[in-house]
Amino acid sequence: MEKPLGFGLNGKVVLVTGAGRGIGRAIALACAHAGADVGLGSRHAEECEQVAASCREEGIRAKAWTLDVSRVSSISAFVDSALNEFGRIDVLVNNVGLTIVKAATELSEREFDEVSAVNFKAPFFASAMVARSMVERGIKGAIVNISSQVGHVGGPLRAAYAGAKGGLNSLTRSLAAEWAPHGIRVTGVSPTFTRTEMLERAALNPEFRKNFEKIPLGRPAEAEEVAAAVVYLASEAGRFVTGHTLLVDGGFTIV
């Protein structure tokens, strides 16, 4: 009998953006638990270092860097630092996200640009930089983009965010097709409302809170449930999946 494909990440180097808190923190811990060395980036340097310290308790290497994904130069420095530290990158998780809960008619140009830069521009350039390093080293790696359910069905009061995440889903498909000849897989994960600090802030808007009632499984997601999907897509178990964005939404988009 052939050996089943595993969900481990032993010997892999995983880069995670926005790893200081929320979903990013859960992804970093899950990848470390699966055996990967992890490079972590966040604007919140102290929090990110605390996550790295927790990851090292799994017996793996973990390094944290300050990262501002709104600046391409910061992304470039982050990728270069990780390559200098680990010598390779096998998996990139584009996790950083930003939403502004506001009517489209009230959103300023500055706010629109900020949301677009974090949710679409940053994953584009981070993916391109990491893919270039994979091609140069002959690495058949994986890139996982953290999207959102609103990138599939739309989201009132989050038009710019929904548009950027919809663009990210399309980017995932396009890059998957472009880099498949190099053995690089590009996938995505679209969570529903997930228990994070960002969700707590958004839920201050009573109209936004009504969305929770639309989840058939009856609750928001836990960050660890999103992280589990990332580990699957990054591991050998997901080696024949590319160009697909997996909904982890408690059934939100089926009703």
For residues 142 and 240, what is the distance between their CA atoms, to the nearest angstrom? 11
Element of type H or E holding 170: helix 159-179
Q: Is 110 helix (H, G, I), strand (E, B) or coil?
A: helix
For residues 74 and 146, what is the distance between their CA atoms, to the nearest angstrom? 19
Beta carbons of 175 and 143 less than 8 angstroms apart? yes
Amino acid at 116: S
Q: Is 233 helix (H, G, I), strand (E, B) or coil?
A: helix
Q: DSSP secondary-structure letter at 194?
A: B
HSE of 184, CA atoms in CB hemisphere, 13 A: 29
Residue 138 CB burial class (10 angstroms; 0-12, 13-18, ≥19): exposed
| Phi, then psi, of 25 in degrees rounded to 5 | -60, -45
Beta-sheet strands, E only, within 47-141: 62-66, 91-94
Catalytic residue, candidates 120, 161, 179, 232:
161
- The reply to whether 161 belongs to the active site is yes
Beta bridge partner(s), residue 221: 194
Beta carbons of 69 and 18 less than 8 angstroms apart? yes
Q: Residue 50: how many CB atoms within 10 A of its CB?
A: 15
Residue with tokens 């939403």: 99
Q: Catalytic residue positions?
A: 161
